[in-house]
Chains A and B, each alone.
Chain A
Amino acid sequence: MSRKRALALGASGALSAGTLAPATASAHGLVGKQDLPIPRVLFAWAAAIVLIVSFVALGALWKRSRWESGVRERELLRFPRWLEIPCGLVGVALFGLGVYAGLAGTKEATSNLLPNLIYVLFWVGLPFLSALFGDVFRPFNPWLAIARASGWVVRRIGGDSVPEPLPYPERLGRWPAVVGILGFAWLELVYVDKDNTVTLAVLSIAYCVLQLVAMSLYGADRWSRRGDAFGVYFNLISRLSPLHWRDARLYARTPLAGVVPLNAVPGTVALVCVLIGSTSFDGFSQGQIWNGSNGGAGLAGRLQDFFTGLGLSLQSALEAAFTVGLLVMIGLISGLYRLGVNGMSDIGERYPASDLSRRFVHSLVPIALAYVVAHYFSLLVYQGQATAYLISDPLGDGHNFFGTANVGINYTVISATQVWYAQVAALVAGHVSGLILAHDRAIAIYAKPSAATRSQYWMLTVMVAFTCLGLYLLSESA
């Protein structure tokens, strides 16, 4: 993650601007250990494997669609509906504890539960859990639980006089979630004061209130599936999982297959591009092109100088520079996908590009997950350990509830080499998964197999580009 680099950057940016003070001197990081860049040899091998696998897959994959006619699910177990109540209570309690720690606890980010809860367990931990175990966030979603509980109370009291929720505007689609994810990415990757515990607590409350208002207007269930940024994001990732929680039952299904029936309402393509783009920028903003190397100014320093030249303060100029970087990276990802889709629109049935863009977006979901795994796997392994001492002393004021307050972080549980292999494996796996999903869709929508294959030259180019970009961002060249 970029926290520590932002500090280094402040120094280099200030250097290029002469005698100015370091711009990000107030930020404090959670991260004690960063990943080493992937060595070039490993990078080259991974890229070569990706290329070979891709081209072999074109000829070798199945010829008739396997998933489009519906995915078979096998029931594993049933559980009583009332379980939703204790789950919701746990979610609300954790939310309350985090916010309380943020407001009342120490201002030192590494000793306060809230930054760890938000940036590590929630933002990184839940996508990992969702990919493995399905949409496990939903039963614990605190705002959804509060909205459901209050809806139940209101119906008990008001009876038939309670108005029906408004119809959710179809044109809105997943756009509210896009705005929410973009806002969170900005907070995490751009905002200088991102580790301020009070700010984080206030933003958490504000987000919760906003969700409750929207849920009361459009219905809790509807809004949570379209507008709640985190609910939508974790659900999207959970569709790759072999487990599916639905109607008080747990089902097993083929991994990846759950994302095939994804209804690509407006905003879905943007959501996936924002996810991939923001993770990409997180990687890029830690590299030497952005930060400069050994005292020399990088892109960020130059952009910062440009914005201070326009009259912005050092801190605002740095944020402006990072905002530009984030938006350009998201634009680059969107443009790359659009390019592939445009290429496809000339083939076979000549589907319009906007149509194809929605039809193939599900194949980018495993790539979005792969980027998250590659960039944040080590963060979860190292910083996740901080939970042990934070849960014993959530406010950082010397308590020791569970006797674990003095447990430190063991940075040797996985080695730098193991992190590299995990990163490369994640990107290659994401690439192959995306390839399979796109292939299955292509043979379903094109009547002629030759058209389906030709359409996949384009998707293949897009995916090879994404995967090589992902590898490049982790390498020492970036």
Chain B
Amino acid sequence: MPVRSCAVMAALLAAAALTGCAGTSSSAPKNADITVNVVNGKPQGGVKTYKVKKGGHVHFVVKSDVADEVHVHGYNFHKDVPKGGTVTFDFPAKIDGGFIAELENAHQTLINLQVEP
């Protein structure tokens, strides 16, 4: 295969790759309002992923039927939640990246939080 046809093939493949993916970039909401119900020590509806734009605000509420400590990793917030109680975290999303919040002692993940740049 001569060099020219290689170049043509490369250009075609590149064009295909670009058009196939254009415009599918996801956009995170500016603020996140998250409420998790912990039932039998686990988040109701499974572990979900929430996105928020960096610089936005995160309002994160955990209602728990078990006593534990809620830990938001990366941001390193810790708050105790009593059995049947509620804790609330309000914070600006100033560090980008993927973080989990978990029931620290049970090592149970509650949510994935993705702060997008």
Which A residues have a C-beta under 8 Å from some C-beta of B?
Answer: 4, 7-8, 10-12, 14-15, 22, 25-28, 32-36, 39-41, 43-45, 47-48, 51-52, 54-56, 58-59, 293-296, 408, 411-412, 415-417, 457, 476
Contacts and interface: CB of A to CB of B under 8 A. Distances in A.
B49 A294 contact: yes
Given A44-B17, A56-B10, A11 B47 contact: yes
A12 B74 contact: no
B74 to A, nearest CB: 4
Given A47-B17, A55-B9, A295-B46, A36 B116 contact: yes
Interface of B: 1, 3, 6-7, 9-11, 13-14, 17-18, 20-22, 24-26, 42-43, 45-49, 73-74, 76, 94-100, 102, 106-109, 112, 114-117
Contacts of A35: 97-98
A51 B13 contact: yes
B14 to A, nearest CB: 4
B48 A294 contact: yes
Dominant secondary structure of chain B at its interface with chain A: mixed
Given A11-B47, A44-B17, A52-B11, A32 B96 contact: no
Contacts of B100: 4, 7-8, 34
B18 A11 contact: no
Contacts of A7: 100, 102, 107-109
Contact of B22 (A41, A54, A55, A58): A41
Given A36-B96, A47-B17, A55 B6 contact: yes
A43 B94 CA distance: 25
A215 B80 CA distance: 53
B13 A34 contact: no
A262 B108 CA distance: 47
Nearest to A43: B21
B52 to A, nearest CB: 12
Given A25-B107, A56-B7, A58-B6, A41 B21 contact: yes
B109 A4 contact: yes
A44 B10 contact: no
A44 B43 contact: no
Q: Which of B21, B47, B99, B102 has the most CB of A within 10 A?
A: B47
26 contacts: A7-B102, A7-B107, A12-B47, A32-B73, A32-B74, A32-B76, A33-B74, A33-B99, A34-B97, A36-B115, A36-B117, A40-B21, A43-B21, A44-B20, A45-B18, A51-B14, A54-B10, A55-B6, A55-B7, A58-B6, A59-B6, A59-B7, A295-B46, A411-B97, A415-B96, A416-B96
Contact of B45 (A4, A51, A295): A295
B46 A11 contact: yes
A378 to B, nearest CB: 8
Contacts of A415: 96, 117
Given A36-B96, A59-B6, A48 B14 contact: yes
Contacts of A27: 107
Nearest to A31: B73
